[in-house]
Amino acid sequence: MDYISHSDADRSVMLEAIGLPSVEELVNRVIPEQYRLDSALKLPEGASECALVEEFKLFAGDNVPAGEKLCFLGGGAYDHYIPAAIEHIISRSEFCTAYTPYQAEVSQGTLQTIYEFQTMVCRLTGMEASNASHYDGASALAEGVLLAVRKTRRKVVVLPAGLNPDYRRVVETYCAPTGIDIRRLDGQDGRIDLNELEEQCRGAGAVVVQHPNFYGLIEPVRKAARVAHDAGALVVSSTYPTTLSLLEPPGEWGADIATAEGQPFGVPLSLGGPYVGLFAVRKELVRMMPGRLVARTKDTKGQDGYVLTLQTREQHIRREKATSNICTNQALVALSALVYLSLMGGDGLRRAALNSYRGAHYLAGRLSGIPGCRLRWNGGFWSEFVLELPGPAAEIRNRLLEHGIFAGPELSRWEPGLDNCLLVAVTERRTRDDLDRFYSVLNQVVSGALTH
């Protein structure tokens, strides 16, 4: 407890209030035993700056940028093309040095970009109000679940089997200290089973629908939303945002709260972040929305001005009335998404989505023709699909990597019953030659014709 300005008396009062005998006991309650260190750190002797730089270069050499190989990675982060103008624009000092608009009246430029970002999110999702962003798609979804629970006053959440496993863990983490009960749908053929949903919805306050789901499959969203609403629950959607240029948006098929990961909109893969979470709601939920909301108004001279209209975090209002503990929004990353959408326009975004869709279906058709390979589930999918292989997916994936192909994650990382399955994603960056090369290499690996 060094560097914390509490006296022994202060700590005693706090420990008594929470009913624990010592700080050590508090740590033991919070940090699982397997993560606690019970011995001194084994650190090497100090080194010079020059030696450290060389050592870190060796570590960095283990990272292989996605752009150096054929990339079919997905599962929430995608290798979309990023227009060169984006980096130039967001690197301007006005943007890259701005933090957060505490003094909104002197942050008009930042507020305007957030306002325009919110407008585009609303247009994409078919919703009536959007906030200034969240940390990522997972935290946006978790905040959406908490909003739905607050509104319905029902501490039960239904999560589908097709939800991104990492998103599921974040939702579970957010819900654990609040006493929220989580029910999981087993699903059928990789999708939501409506009969099971109807049964699990009883008494639920929130139903999560990922569309397309983690496996790339198209869900029966309209019917699922109807079942949820009939049971008195709110629907929280999680969406691959590129698909919104072609698929029916959440606001039209019945979602009450729409969330998404904005990484496909001009944000690099970057080893997993920073990303930007999109969050939008129907108008009647706007006062319960977490985060912050920028609006446009008129000043005393009749000129347009931008203001922070809604700020629900504990720094701005009484802590007990806060709906979120988010301390900032991802303004610079949100600006990347805004610039991307402005450059692409509706037609460009549709072309990118359509090319991804067509490429995925072409590749799926070819790969499923390889002896021993097949699509795990039949039915509609978007630009991702689950390929079942004749052997362990991790082993085949590593063989593909040796020949310059990132084939996508093996699903056994999350689902033990899917040991032979790869999740394959196709974006508009993959050409017909790229797809044919994937087919050729995988065919040879599976048949044993391709040696190390």
Report the pLDDT averaged over residues 399-425.
Answer: 93
More confident residue, 272 or 104: 272
**The pLDDT of residue 119 is above 70:** yes
**Per-residue pLDDT reduced to its tens digit, 237-252:** 999 999 999 999 999 9
pLDDT at 452: 55
pTM of the model: 0.88
Provide mean pLDDT across the span 106-124. 92
Query: Would you say residue 326 has pLDDT above 80?
Result: no
The reported pLDDT for the residue numbered 327 is 55
CATH 3.90.1150.10 region(s) of the chain?
A: 66-80+345-447
d(CA 270, CA 276): 12
Give 189-242 as a 3 state SS string.
Answer: CCECCHHHHHHHCCCCCEEEEEECCCCCECCCHHHHHHHHHHCCCEEEEEECHH
Candidates 3.10.450.50, 3.90.1150.10, 3.40.50.10140, 3.10.20.740; correct CATH number of 66-80+345-447? 3.90.1150.10
Per-residue pLDDT at 439: 97
- Whether 268 has a pLDDT exceeding 50, the answer reads yes
Report the candidate in 216, 225, 258 with the shortest Cα–Cα distance to residue 360. 216
Confidence at 320, pLDDT banded by 50, 70, 90: low
Residue 1 pLDDT exceeds 50? no
Check pLDDT > 50 for residue 111. yes
**Per-residue tokens: 276:** 């930007």
Q: Is the pLDDT of residue 313 over 90?
A: no
- What is the CB neighbour count within 10 angstroms for residue 48? 8
* Span 421-427, average pLDDT: 97
Q: Is residue 276 a contact partner of residue 267, using CB atoms and an 8 Å limit?
A: yes
pLDDT in tens, 123-161: 999 999 999 999 999 999 999 999 999 999 999 999 999
Q: What is the percent of the chain with per-residue pLDDT over 90, rounded to a whole number?
A: 72
**Least trusted range by pLDDT, from 204-218, 307-321, 392-406:** 307-321
With 70 as the cut, is the pLDDT of residue 314 above it? no
| pLDDT surpassing 90 at residue 39 | no
Mean pLDDT for the stretch of residues 361-370:
96
| Domain covering 84-340: architecture | 3-Layer(aba) Sandwich (3.40)
Place of tokens 């690099």: 268
State the residue for tokens 């990789």.
190
* Higher per-residue confidence, 291 vs 229: 229
pLDDT grade for 38, boundaries at 50, 70 and 90: confident
- Mean pLDDT value of segment 219-227: 97
Whole-Å CA distances, 89 to 132, 188, 242, 343, 401: 19, 46, 22, 12, 35
Is the pLDDT reported for residue 97 higher than 90?
no
Q: Is residue 101 pLDDT above 80, yes or no? A: no
What pLDDT score does 417 carry? Answer: 86
Predicted confidence at residue 446, as pLDDT, reads 92
Average pLDDT, the chain: 91
Q: Mean pLDDT, to the nearest integer, of 299-310? A: 88
Residue with the bigger pLDDT between 373 and 24: it is 373
Q: Give the per-residue pLDDT at 139.
A: 94
Query: pLDDT per residue over 51-88, tens digit each?
Result: 999 999 999 888 888 888 999 999 999 999 999 999 99
- In whole angstroms, give the CA distance from residue 409 to residue 418: 11
Stretch(es) of the chain classified as CATH 3.40.640.10: 84-340
Q: What percent of the chain has pLDDT over 70?
A: 93
Q: How confident is the model at residue 450 (pLDDT cuts 50, 70, 90)?
A: low
Residue 390 has pLDDT above 80, yes or no: yes
Distance between CA 378 and CA 376 in Å, rounded? 7
Query: Taking 80 as the threshold, does the pLDDT of residue 236 lie above it?
Result: yes
